[in-house]
Structure 1
Amino acid sequence: MDRKQHIAIFTTASLPWMTGTAVNPLFRAAYLAKNGERKITLVIPWLSLKDQKLVYPNNTTFGSPSEQESYIRQWLDQRIAFISGFTIRFYPGKFAVDKRSILPVGDISEIILDEEADIAVLEEPEHLTWFHHGKRWKTKFRLVIGIIHTNYLEYDYPRSIVCNVHGVNTKFLEIGKKRFEQQHGSNQAFTKGDYYIGKMIWSKGYGELLKLLHDHQKELVGLEVDLYGNGEDSDQVKEAASKLKLTVRVHPGRDHADPLFHDYKVFLNPSTTDVVCTTTAEALAMGKIVVCANHPSKRLLQAVPTTGTEKLSSKKFASVSLNLWKTIEDTSAYVHHLALGFEATRRVFGAIPGSLQPDEEQRKELGLTS
């Protein structure tokens, strides 16, 4: 083709919400655009002010998408050593309090022109497709790649492959190298004990961690643990921690590369809901000891793709099976599209009221035509 290949990365979160679906896709866009061989667009949610106040920490809010984009690029520029020429586009989103997730409003695939719809990377595809009512993703784009960030028990999605698609910022490796040199020199590499950094909601393992500390208080006399994070359950976590006889301090969230964390020796990660525990990899890169659950959500376990390992008995059977699967898939997509075109049906399925199309406020904020 005469033009550059276009990759559009759609994700369900954006800074300053320090969650994996805000950070990892941002770095993915930056590094994919690094050599200038492809055109990269990062498509992120725009929240109106009332939802920003529910999601973003430290009372951080933005009056316009351009203001938030400036914040994001400044944050990124402080963490990469090159200039990356990717584009940021916003789609209208709403925060679902019950799901604790940002969900898209309207047909967000329209943000990318049809003539540039080469590859779509859907970060948390289940969130982006639950209530999607518009052109089918696989019809709009020539290739669609879904990256699931949450551990859904058995990873049993059809035609899925479990693999690592995230990297670790070189900054963490540099920190680890420095600590290694200190350890073999005259200086002590680590002067602090144990810590955990993660979004402060119970589903990130705080309950399991606090229960373990409670059940083994006698064996852990003298242990001190620092917990860092922002989230809806911060006050409850702090209250539960205060009831322990051990010293467990609860702090606001910080960037994992902050010098504050350099002196900690042990990283605790009780979470079992993440597919890629980025903070675990970062801690290992910094030379820390990691204590985590023996669980599929830890990418320390090896995963062996099974696609292509079983032979079908005949080409005829394979052809029939594929055609049947495609028919079922097409029918399911049609029913899904039809059902989600009505407000009443959408609400039955759990969609946010009024999320079929952007409201007047979001249209004005995003400069969308009526």
Structure 2
Amino acid sequence: MQDDGFFADWKKWLVAWELRAAEFSAAELAGEIDYLQSKDLSDDGGPRKEELPGGELWATWRRLGGTLRSRAGLPWRKAKEGSDLRQPGRKIAIITTASLPWMTGTAVNPLLRTVFLAKDSTREVTLLVPWLSKADQATIFPSITFETPEEQETYVREWAKKRTGVEANFKIRFYPGRYAPEKGSILPIGDLTKYIPDEEADVAVLEEPEHLNWYHHGSCWTRKFSHVVGVVHTNYLDYARREEGGDVKQRLLKAINCWVCQAHCHKVVKLSGAVQPLPKEHTEFVHGVSPAFLEVGMAKRLPTKGSDERFSRGFYYIGKVVWGKGYTELLDMVEFHKTSTGKDLPVDVFGGGADFADVTQTSSTKGLSLMFHGPKDHLSPDIHEYKAFINPSTSDVVATTSAEALAMGKFVICCEHPSNKFFSQFRNCLVYRTPEEFNERVRYAMEHEPAPLSEEETFKLTWEAATERFLDIASLSVQERNPGLLNRAMDSIAYMSHNTLTGLEPVRVTAGAGVGTRDNPECVTGYSPSSGCAGGLFDRRVTESKQCT
């Protein structure tokens, strides 16, 4: 489709000015920078007002956020350079959509990324997580609630220390959030950029940038931070596709995800190719597993005392019990195995969630040998004894549980899918393409013992290796940090249009943001969820009706 009329003229104008800017940069601006570099700098790293051509006019330009303005204490001339996360003194804020004790991937992995980034004492690392009301805590936290953010911070730090054994100095800050049961997710309240002080606003790592920004109204992340990278964890399109009106929801959500990533990120890192195409995307698996899982794998190299076998139990699955988390595929594969071989395939299932009753009822109706045990930590001693982890899910971007199972020395039976590409290099990963091959992999796991992990396989699973991969992929080249006038204009248009719509309360409520969620409360603990139903366009009707009755 070709541009015409006003838009064609507008685009030509932008291109012309981009070329002019490049010409100016190559000639006159170079001399200007040489002149300014010879002068003393002000406290914020920029030139002193009285020493600049233009005086007050130039100072005003810097205050308004011109491209040569200092950001996060970096010299103003660095705006024309790339951004290396290995550079000493970087201040990194990691912002995520969930927190312990909710044992979900977006709570665990950003926390572990924080811990291992903070091992380098030359960095200042902050983790920003949601604070929930007592009612929301009771809904999703397993048998524990907190009176204050400080109590929850203590819990998070103790869990991280126990899980990793790492002494790391990092900050934990909270932002107000609400649990949206119709989405099975936590949504931010207000403008999250306000919870990172300006003097610390250097690098922002947005864990789930689309999720964080669906309803974001306020500052643009790339205007407050000099370096913003998004890490995409979840295949939300797959969830949308499974719901009523899924095709329409999926198309709309795909466009919105692109929209907000364009507006708020310099770079987007997808954990695997299972995620939709996104602006500024790169693909790299930047997660690892806690040392505690690798310790279990080391212990399982030898048979259990008094036995010739290393594992005493068979097959299991662990994951939040919602249909979109692989339970449709799990039941289908187990049912196929039963009908095609005439034999039951016993699988112990660990997890809880919104669809628990429906999944267990469906399994019972089909006569499947699935035993549901409720939520359990994947590191629980009971799970050490299982030989094989079955994970047929195609909705994951990358399944953390698969990485953990491999680290514990187990077989992992999974389908051929972009989400499993990283794991397929491991000897104990048994990949199938068809239901018939699934049966073959099950039989192989029954008859063989998993191979002990090699040193190379072990290192690839560590958070040390994942952190190196992250530092490599998340750094910005000169082009990525300064993409040119046309691309910056497109980013600005995406931000301004989205910010305008998310400022309208009727639009927010219709889209499912909830009532009164646009503005920041007076304090982090000051938000109370509305008693009204907050269902919107993306919400499951079944769950909505349960909440509204």
| TM-score normalised according to structure 1 size | 0.87
In structure 1, the partner of 2:491 is 329
SS in 1 for 2:103: coil
Residue 242 (str. 1) matches residue 364 (str. 2)? yes
Q: How far apart, CA to CA, are the structure 2 residues paired with 1:184 and 1:274?
A: 37
Q: How far apart, CA to CA, are the structure 2 residues paired with 1:342 and 1:362?
A: 23
User: Following TM superposition, by how much is the alpha carbon of 1:206 offset from its aligned partner in structure 2, in angstroms?
Assistant: 0.8
Residue 349 (str. 1) matches residue 471 (str. 2)? no
In structure 1, the partner of 2:384 is 262
In structure 2, the partner of 1:313 is none
Q: How far apart, CA to CA, are the structure 1 residues paired with 2:211 and 2:336?
A: 36
1:286 to 391, 402, 408: 408
Cα-to-partner distance string for 1:61-89 (whole Å, 9 max, x where unaligned):
22211111122122222112222111111
Residue 39 (str. 1) matches residue 124 (str. 2)? yes
Cα-to-partner distance string for 1:133-185 (whole Å, 9 max, x where unaligned):
11100001010010000135553111211101111122222221222232899
Q: How far apart, CA to CA, are the structure 2 residues paired with 1:141 and 1:33?
A: 19
Q: Tell me whether 129-138 or 355-364 shows the greater mean CA deviation.
A: 355-364
Q: Which runs of 5+ in 1 are unaligned?
A: 308-320
Residue type of the partner of 1:333? Y
8 Å CA contact 2:115, 2:166 repeated in 1: no
In structure 2, the partner of 1:207 is 328
Q: How far apart, CA to CA, are the structure 2 residues paired with 1:365 and 1:222?
A: 50
8 Å CA contact 2:191, 2:520 repeated in 1: no
Q: How far apart, CA to CA, are the structure 2 residues paired with 1:202 and 1:279?
A: 17
Residue type of the partner of 2:383? F
SS in 2 for 1:334: helix
Residue type of the partner of 1:149? H
In structure 1, the partner of 2:347 is 225
Question: Residues 149 and 108 (structure 1 numbering): CA distance in 2 closer, same or farther, change over 3 Å?
Answer: same
8 Å CA contact 1:65, 1:365 repeated in 2: no
Equivalenced residue count is 349
2:296 to 159, 165, 175: 175
Cα-to-partner distance string for 1:93-113 (whole Å, 9 max, x where unaligned):
012222211111111111111
In structure 2, the partner of 1:136 is 220
1:159 to 272, 280, 299: 280
In structure 1, the partner of 2:194 is 110
In structure 2, the partner of 1:300 is 423
In structure 1, the partner of 2:536 is none
User: Following TM superposition, by how much is the alpha carbon of 1:215 offset from its aligned partner in structure 2, in angstroms?
Assistant: 3.1
User: Which is greater in Rg?
Assistant: 2
| TM-score normalised according to structure 2 size | 0.60
Residue type of the partner of 2:511? F
In structure 1, the partner of 2:6 is none
SS in 2 for 1:291: strand
Q: Which runs of 5+ in 2 are unaligned?
A: 1-72, 75-87, 238-273, 426-472, 474-482, 529-549
SS in 1 for 2:311: coil
Question: Residues 297 and 68 (structure 1 numbering): CA distance in 2 closer, same or farther, change over 3 Å?
Answer: same
Residue 14 (str. 1) matches residue 137 (str. 2)? no
RMSD, matched Cα: 2.6
- Identical aligned residues as a percent: 46
8 Å CA contact 1:107, 1:134 repeated in 2: yes
In structure 2, the partner of 1:78 is 162
SS in 2 for 1:231: coil
Question: Which contiguous aligned blocks of 4+ residues in structure 1 show a shift greater than 3 angstroms?
Answer: 1-4, 152-155, 183-187, 358-366
SS in 2 for 1:167: coil
Residue type of the partner of 2:230? G
Structure number with higher helix proportion: 2
8 Å CA contact 2:322, 2:356 repeated in 1: yes
Residue 274 (str. 1) matches residue 396 (str. 2)? yes
In structure 2, the partner of 1:314 is none
8 Å CA contact 2:303, 2:311 repeated in 1: no
8 Å CA contact 1:122, 1:144 repeated in 2: yes
User: Following TM superposition, by how much is the alpha carbon of 1:241 offset from its aligned partner in structure 2, in angstroms?
Assistant: 2.4
